[in-house]
Every structure is written in structure tokens, then in C-alpha cells.
């Protein structure tokens, strides 16, 4: 009964916030020049719900009051909804990687900073589970663009498209996609329409990985799953130069730290990276966190709160300390601090009204200046005026169509 009343109140608040935004648009004009009416109303109504359902701010003195298991259960229940892939984009098939089929040498993780111990433990646990118990699997989806399906003139060729085996010619490349969601939400299903559009524009198959989420699986479980997924593609016959790694938000963070870890373990030559609003710095809050708060949809607790996204991902339940701050600044957590010399070709897209704008801009500068100016064309930063965090998920915006088209161009020219 109480839950039903709460939902009714929330729905009423959503409608009220939308109506207020509608009137404001016509009386005061749009908050941003390039925002259409429907976008502003949807954004304002969504932000109202986020604020109404957000946990009250807490400090570390109150950390014992936090029921992290209850929060994890609520987040699992309220995870982003999945969407069907329209036939005009292509087709999708679910599958899974049996981790026992992808042997990993944990000694390669030696010297991997705050990730080392966790990566070693997770690798050892997978190996033990493979001897007696059922092996762990990493679910994934493979999305095949419509144009590629049309060229498959036999049943066997079409069947081959839905495997992770290389194909002949230019279509022998593949995209490994790592979804966003703050490391606590999201799945291949929630990002299916975005990934399907990327597959369509690039003309390549996309493997979208359902990596483990925090808080039940804190850092570095996500990095571990991404590393296994990349090694699985190598095992299937791809080389690093055949693989483009892409991701949005926290998935963009994962793309970057995976690339740095791969280099640490001796794997280089990745074809390219595509980063949509990447979360690059978990340790420092830059001014755009505040000056873009009135426009963006992201809601963030301060780092001093045990409910901060970075802390909930990295070490849920632990109090903030100098040691944790040092760990959060490590390149395998906050890739903005990485060594970007000889980095793969990279496309970064962001909106100038997102709260992560400053750190994304700094990330690009760090990558660009670390490399030979003669190769500056390999590193592209596209900043879209008046756009918010991962605006590429709002498919009716002309800026979204332009951004996804640009991703297609960038990947095809690699």
C-alpha cells in the first residue's frame, strides 16, 4: 500500500515538474539555446525524480547506518530497462564467455597498482570454480548491422555473423562495447539501441559485454571481465589491430583502464577507441561539476560521502582515507592520470553542458600532448554545444545523429 502511494506521488511529481518546465520554456525561453521543448521537459521531469529518490547526504561518521546490501538490491531491481533492437538497425543474439575457456596468467598483473591484488584473486577464483563447480560465465550480446545481414547469402554465412570469429575483408574488424551506468547500473540490453546505431554506422559487429556491477562486485571486477572479454576475442582469432573498444560514461572509464592494463600486460596495437562522455577522474572534482549542475542529468554525492559513486564502486563501506584517495588517483582507476604515449587513435565526444566537461577536456589534452604533434589527427575531440552527459542516448536530437554518424566515419577510416 505504502509503495503504491509512493509511486503515485512520484508520478505526480514527474508530471508536475514537466508541466512547470513546459510553462518556463514558453515564458522564459529554453534553458539552453539548442534544447527543443520536449528535451527540456523530459530532462527537468527526470531530474525531479532523481532528486526525489536520491539517498539523503551522509558523512563517514554515519557510514554504519548505510545498508549496502539493501542499496545493491534496490539498484538491481531498478536497473535500466532493456530495449528491443528494431530490424532496421540489425539483429542481436545473446551468448556468454565461459571464463574457464580463457586462461589468464595472473602474474601479468604484477605491478598493476591497486588493481593487482583484486585481479589476482579474481583470476584464481575463476580457476578454482572451473575445477569441480560450474564455471563462471560473462554474458554478452553480439549486434550485427542490417547491411551485413543483407550480404550473407547463405544460412551458414548468416550464422557465422553471430559468432565472435573474424570475417574476411574489412568486416573482419569488431567493436568491443562497454556500457555506462556508473558501474552500478546498465547492461547490454539498456544500451542496445545506442550500440545498434553504432554497429549500423560503422558497418561492424559489436560485442556488448555484461560485466559485473558494483556494489556486490567492487573494483576491479569490471576491469577483470573486460580484460577476459578482450582476451576471448584474441582467442577467437582477432588481433588487437582488428578490435575497436568503445564505451560511454563509466564504460568510457573502463575502455581507458582496460587499454592501459592491456599495455601493462604486453598487448598493444589496438585499432582505436571511442569514448562517449568518459568518466576519467574518480579522485578530483572539477568546476564543471558545479557550473553545469543546472543543465546536466547526473546527480553526484561529494567524495566525502560514503554514497559517492566512485567510493561505492571502488570500496563500498570503507571510510575515506589518504590511502583510498591515492588509490583513486591511480591511472588504473582514474585514467586521466595515465601514460598516453603511443596511445591508440581515439575519438572523444562530450557535451559542454555536462558535469564531467572539465575532466573530459583535460583527458583529451593529456592524450594529445603526450603524442607526436605529427600524429595529432589520430586524436579527435568533439564537443557538442548545449549537450549533456551521454546525449547520444537521446536519439531524436540532431546532435545525436551527427555524433553517431561521426563515430561511423572515425571507425571506418581507422
Catalogue the active-site residues.
Answer: 249, 354, 389
Residues 6+ apart with CB under 8 A from 307: 55, 57, 58, 66, 301
Q: In terms of DSSP bridges, do strands 205-209 and 137-145 run parallel, antiparallel, or are they unpaired?
A: antiparallel
- First-to-last CA distance in the chain? 57
| Cα distance between residue 251 and residue 25, in whole Å | 33
Sole residue written with cell 543474439? 93
Amino acid at each position: 500500500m505504502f509503495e503504491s502511494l509512493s509511486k503515485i506521488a512520484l508520478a505526480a511529481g514527474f508530471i508536475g515538474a514537466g508541466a512547470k518546465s513546459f510553462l518556463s520554456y514558453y515564458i522564459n525561453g529554453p534553458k539552453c539555446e539548442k534544447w527543443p521543448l520536449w528535451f527540456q521537459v523530459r530532462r527537468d521531469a527526470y531530474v525531479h525524480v532523481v532528486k526525489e529518490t536520491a539517498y539523503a547526504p551522509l558523512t563517514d561518521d554515519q557510514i554504519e547506518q548505510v545498508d549496502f546490501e539493501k542499496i545493491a538490491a534496490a539498484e538491481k531491481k531498478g536497473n535500466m530497462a532493456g530495449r528491443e533492437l528494431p530490424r532496421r538497425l540489425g539483429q542481436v543474439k545473446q551468448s556468454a564467455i565461459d571464463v574457464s575457456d580463457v586462461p589468464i596468467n595472473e602474474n601479468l598483473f604484477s605491478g598493476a597498482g591497486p588493481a593487482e591484488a583484486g585481479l589476482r584473486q579474481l583470476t584464481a577464483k575463476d580457476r578454482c570454480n572451473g575445477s569441480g563447480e560450474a564455471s563462471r560465465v560473462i554474458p554478452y550480446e553480439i549486434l550485427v548491422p542490417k547491411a551485413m545481414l543483407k550480404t550473407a547469402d547463405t544460412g551458414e554465412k548468416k550464422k557465422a555473423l553471430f559468432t565472435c570469429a573474424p570475417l574476411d575483408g574489412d568486416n573482419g574488424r569488431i567493436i568491443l562495447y562497454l556500457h555506462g551506468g556508473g558501474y552500478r547500473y546498465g547492461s547490454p540490453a539498456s544500451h542496445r539501441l545506442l550500440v545498434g546505431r553504432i554497429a549500423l554506422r560503422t558497418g561492424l559487429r559489436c560485442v556488448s559485454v555484461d560485466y559485473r556491477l558494483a556494489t556486490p562486485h567492487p573494483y576491479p571486477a569490471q576491469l577483470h571481465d573486460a580484460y577476459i572479454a578482450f582476451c576471448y576475442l584474441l582467442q577467437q582469432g582477432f588481433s588487437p589491430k582488428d578490435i575497436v573498444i568503445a564505451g560511454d560514461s563509466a564504460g568510457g572509464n573502463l575502455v581507458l583502464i582496460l587499454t592501459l592494463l592491456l599495455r601493462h600486460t604486453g598487448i598493444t596495437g589496438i585499432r582505436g577507441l571511442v569514448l562517449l562522455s568518459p568518466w576519467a577522474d574518480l579522485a578530483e572534482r572539477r568546476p564543471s561539476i558545479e557550473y553545469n549542475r543546472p543543465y546536466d542529468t547526473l546527480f553526484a554525492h561529494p567524495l566525502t560521502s560514503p554514497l559517492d559513486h566512485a567510493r561505492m564502486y571502488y570500496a563500498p563501506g570503507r571510510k575515506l582515507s589518504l590511502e583510498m584517495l591515492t588509490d583513486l588517483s591511480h591511472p588504473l582507476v582514474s585514467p586521466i592520470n595515465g601514460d598516453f604515449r603511443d596511445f591508440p587513435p581515439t575519438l572523444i565526444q562530450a557535451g559542454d553542458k555536462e558535469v564531467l566537461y572539465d575532466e573530459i577536456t583535460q583527458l583529451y589534452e593529456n592524450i594529445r600532448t603526450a603524442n607526436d604533434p605529427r600524429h595529432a589527427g589520430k586524436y579527435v575531440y568533439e564537443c557538442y554545444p548545449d549537450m549533456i552527459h551521454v546525449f547520444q542516448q537521446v536519439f531524436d536530437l540532431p546532435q545525436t545523429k551527427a555524433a553517431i554518424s561521426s563515430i561511423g566515419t572515425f571507425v571506418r577510416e581507422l
